[in-house]
Structure 1
Amino acid sequence: MPIRRLILITAGLLALWMLWVILLPSPGNLPPHTAQQSGSWRVAEHTLSHLQDFQLEARILGREDYYLDRGAKLSPTDLALGWGPMADPEVLRHISISQRNRWYFWRAEQLPIERRQIEINSANMHMIPATAEVAKTLSKLKPGQQIRLSGQLVRVEGDDGYRWISSLSREDTGDGACELIWVENLQVMP
């Protein structure tokens, strides 16, 4: 009897998880957005506000997809990105990269470049796809690829009081240092 109950509970949890994934933004079901004169626009139950234009060419150091946290409906994917010396495969071969809970972590037994160079030439960035095409490209990205992206750094304010604000500097570290990007263009470089 306990095994039957465990199987039923597991099946129920799996069904709930599948329903949750189906309801998340994907290329086919991104929430509609409408532009407004003030530099703000609505996405589902959120107001996004333009803070600064943004563009970057970088190597993908890692990617993490999110399904359950508060930001997942807007930003289903974080990319850990590296540019300058942090896009160099020879440097990266000495650094271990990981991501979790909307953070990016690195570790090296021996630093291949100065610590500060690692900090100012890499970051965890929260991606908000602006179009179904961007969402589709984003869903296929893999660590090691070179990408070019452009869009806007934004502030998000939910109708329920939720707030999420992008960093405006690539030289900060720690809590609040991630960029929150409304991604309008995304390309994989050859």
Structure 2
Amino acid sequence: MNLSMLLKIAIALAVAFFAIEKLRVHRADQRLQSLGPAAVTQQQQFADSPVQAATSEAPFEFRGYQVKPLAAFAVRARVLAREDYHAGKEAELSSLDLALGWKRMAEPAVYEPLGITQGNRWYRYSWRDQPPIPLQEIIESSANMHMIAATPTVERALKKARKGGYIRITGKLVEVSHPSGWRWTSSLTRSDSGAHSCELVFVESAQVED
């Protein structure tokens, strides 16, 4: 076999290889998309602000409540405060709230001068004289999040969260309802404050960073 023939065979094999590889990658992408926005979100690298994506996942039953997914959700953030709860329908689902900060609200020089407290499922902050950063930036870079642990393993991970540490969370923002008519609905924006501004997160994975 002469050199020209060997070169043609090599080129043909290279073309075939790249065609097969392109098809493999395309099919992998199609499979990921078919799993829905939550799977796509979980494949993304954790950003310095929450990642939210539309979802078409069907409602499901959890501990006698109906859970309706509103959006896929992921965040890596600083724990600004944590509060545990033991009473009420909310506590049957969510045993703790985490006040989380990202972007500049994750910087100790910004959040440590603030007086940060939690109670009655609220997150509050105060300051002397002037806030360390503009108020709207505080609002858009932090939030109180009600955590619904999907599994006992996730519950244990969430309970390891401590003020000043980082935590990574993936799951869904949800609306929860009860046959009695009681309803609890997540905020879907980071720019709100006051009543109904907290995120209600069905947490499917949680990792506290050392």
TM-score for both structures, normalised by structure 1: 0.78
Q: CA distance change for structure 1 residues 181 and 38 in 2, over 3 Å: closer, same or farther?
A: closer
Deviation at 1:189, TM superposition (A): 2.2
Structure 2: 5+ residue runs without aligned partners?
Answer: 1-55
Q: Quick check: which one's strand share is greater?
A: 1
Q: Any residues of structure 2 matched to 1:20-39 within 5 Å, and which? A: 39=58
Corresponding residue for residue 46 of structure 1: 65
Q: CA RMSD in A?
A: 1.2
State the identity %.
Answer: 44
Q: Deviations over 1:35-85 (max 9, x none)?
A: xx9611111220001100001110000011110122001001000010001
Distance 1:141 1:38, change over 3 A: closer
| Distance 1:164-1:94 versus aligned 2 partners, 3 A rule | same
- Tell me how far 1:96 sits from its aligned partner: 1.1
Supply the distance in 2 between the matched residues of 1:41 and 1:80 (Cα, whole angstroms).
27
SS at match of 1:116: helix
Contiguous gaps of at least 5 residues in structure 1: 1-36
**Is the 2:158–2:208 contact (alpha carbons within 8 Å) kept by the matching residues of 1?**
no
Aligned counterpart, 1:14? none
Provide the rounded CA distance (Å) in 2 between the counterparts of 1:79 and 1:147. Answer: 10
Alignment counterpart, residue 191 of structure 2, candidates 160, 166, 171: 171
The answer on 1:60 being equivalent to 2:79 is yes
In our comparison, the structure showing a higher alpha carbon Rg is: 2
For residue 87 of structure 1, report the CA deviation from its aligned partner. 0.3
Aligned residue for 1:73, secondary structure, equals helix
Equivalence map 1:62-141=2 (5 Å): 62-109=81-128, 110-141=130-161
Total equivalences in the alignment? 154
Which structure is higher in helix share? Answer: 2
Structure possessing the higher relative contact order (Cα contacts under 8 Å, 6 or more residues apart)? 1
1:185 and 1:46 map into 2 onto residues whose CA distance is 20
**Superposed structure 1 runs of 4+ greater than 3 Å apart:** none
> Take 1:141 and 1:57, find their aligned partners in 2: how far apart are those partners?
12
